[in-house]
Amino acid sequence: MPTATVNGLRFFFVDEGHGTPVVLLHGFPDTSFLWRHQIPALVRAGFRVVAPDLRGRGQSDKPERVEDYRLSAIMKDVAGIMDQLRIERAHVVGHDWGAPVAWFLAALMPQRVDRLVAISVGHPAAMPHPTLEQLQKSWSYNLFHFPGLAEEALQKDDWYLFREFIHGNGDIERYIEDLSEPGALTSALNWYRANVPPERFIKPPSRVPAVQAPTLGIFSTGDNYLTEEAMIRSAEHVTGSWRYERLEGVSHWIPTEAADWLNGQLLGFL
């Protein structure tokens, strides 16, 4: 994988194909490997695909401070990688934590995003006060906020709690191998510690501008971590064209569990 040094950190990324660039952004506990089914399909369709291991994940550098994982910093990483590759403007696709990064990039740097695809996670301002259902689904986030304790609990008994959290995802053994590297689990959890503090459930997030780019929102009804409401209400925070696709019976990991369906949606929209 090629590398780029951005904001003082070294990033590994996939860069394949030619033509209009598409930037793919993964979430937790994934790396760029998440997009292994989308990359070849997009390249065959004539796109240039860039998929980085975002900070703290995969082979990319893992800063130690919690505050280094704020979405504002990660958004600048993505823009910096685009600069290094001389990509002025791109289609941007994000899943899980990669989706809020993509939302922020489109909202705060609109000149960099041509079209936006947000998978599973809606616009950051779409649901300022989580519903009871969302609180029930996101109970595990409370554990993630206890440094040391969370790492120990997730790894105990052959990663039993982590395996329960992931709900049988087919990449579980790869996740465990990756997160077993020194500092890797803490870096991954720091995404939550930096961006979903406990007061988030009391105090609404700061206002985030509406997205001007044409936007596709995708949600799956089998998602164990998120509710559909935030994605539906994201339409209120998009001034460009808005399209919403609802996938029945698939879990949170749409890129791997419904790869062909997602590839069709991406190719049709981008």
**Three-state SS string across 14-48, please?**
EEEECCCEEEEECCCCCCHHHHCCHHHHHHHCCCE
pLDDT greater at residue 224 or residue 36: 36
Q: How far apart are CA 250 and CA 266, in angstroms?
A: 17
Task: Flag whether 214 is in a domain.
Answer: yes
Task: Flag whether 177 is in a domain.
Answer: no
Q: What is the mean pLDDT of the chain?
A: 92
Find the CATH number of the domain harbouring 71.
3.40.50.1820
Task: Please say if the pLDDT value at position 13 is more than 80.
Answer: yes
Q: Which amino acid is at 215?
A: T
Task: Flag whether 183 is in a domain.
Answer: no
Task: Flag whether 174 is in a domain.
Answer: no
pLDDT greater at residue 37 or residue 132: 37
Task: Flag whether 108 is in a domain.
Answer: yes
Task: Flag whether 192 is in a domain.
Answer: no
Among the listed residues 60, 57, 105, the one whose alpha carbon sits nearest the alpha carbon of residue 83: 105
Task: Flag whether 264 is in a domain.
Answer: yes
Q: Which amino acid is at 206?
A: S
66-to-11, 28, 192 alpha-carbon distances in Å: 18, 16, 9
Task: List the helix and strand counts (H, then E) for the chain.
Answer: 11, 8
Q: Three-class SS of residue 185?
A: helix
pLDDT at 204: 44
pLDDT digits (tens, 9 = 90+) for 162-184: 998 887 688 999 999 999 999 99
pLDDT greater at residue 21 or residue 224: 21
Task: Flag whether 168 is in a domain.
Answer: no
How many independent structural domains does the chain possess? 1
pLDDT digits (tens, 9 = 90+) for 195-239: 986 544 434 455 789 999 999 999 999 998 888 999 999 999 999
Q: Burial-class residue 148 by CB neighbours within 10 Å (0-12, 13-18, 19+).
A: exposed
Give the range of the structural domain holding residue 41, as residue numbers without chain letter.
Answer: 3-129+206-269
